[in-house]
Structure 1
């Protein structure tokens, strides 16, 4: 019997949107997957040779790129940040809609013009995307790497600006920040390990099942 096919799925807000697509593609996790008290990270599904692992969103790309999982669901923001050559992203799942943006305190924004920036200090967990974005504009970016609580950086003097994901903008507003520049729109993608796609016969049919699931969802909308 061949090794199980492993799909890496992200913890957090995208997961609730991803589960219906998984089901539409014919993959449903075991009941323990929905147990909020469970500390398990690896789960069986109703397809005997398919398993799920639940990891941090940023780690999905790493697990798939290195072949520890054959497929995964991950935001285009993560793909842009890591740019793994081992990853192929054949399907835009059209879920997890948000944007990656520059934000700063309201008081600063009232007297600030992004067109005049020549150097910025930014707190972000996307240093590569951020630096590349500003480099295209001829702006030097000094990036302070944070993994969370980005909104604290300006108020505590770590960096006057942040680059982070924005959905409704509520978190920014509650922390006295305002969006001043959009870097990229973000959706979640199905990613595949390139080597697995060539060597495993069970990968392509599952990719096609996801493609049909997305098409069906869009047709019903």
Structure 2
């Protein structure tokens, strides 16, 4: 790779082969879509968040790269995919000649992004977590038979929109979710995503923000 940039890694054939395999694995297991659309959205959301908060361009770039690479581990197994993905990313980044300091930040963010055993430890990991976990939307559901939806499918299918809003002056980040309550109730959302919401709160704190949430126009926190 001539130059280590977000734009260049998105065109790295060898990286995209593993990302595509990870998406196929999750599809076979019945999980939501984790295709290039998801990775690109996470990358851009993470970058925009740090940019809006005034972080330098280099930190923004690292967040984008971590966002694009974060689901590599799914090509091996869903279990512990954050840690295996971090190790895979390490190999790619070293082969591309990335600076060691940058590698350390990126693999740490990837290794910490899963709610089962991770948490935000710095701005890049915090931005990745907020971007990844806020990507809840109907188009990610692969099951085409609503009658056979499990609770995760139902919540994702009911999500008409899920967006992050940052008030830089008040230092508040708000997750705003619109759900079709004819498909699932708000309590269903909280049952599935309570651990994620705690992860949001910690990530917001690392960025010096307070976390708030709105669901169908009503303040939840």
Tell me which interval the TM-score lies in, with the shorter structure as reference length.
0.3 to 0.5
Question: Given the two structures, how large is their TM-score scaled by the length of structure 1?
Answer: 0.33
Higher helix share: 2
- Bigger relative contact order, structure 1 or 2 (CA pairs below 8 A, ≥6 apart): 1
Structure with greater strand share of residues:
1
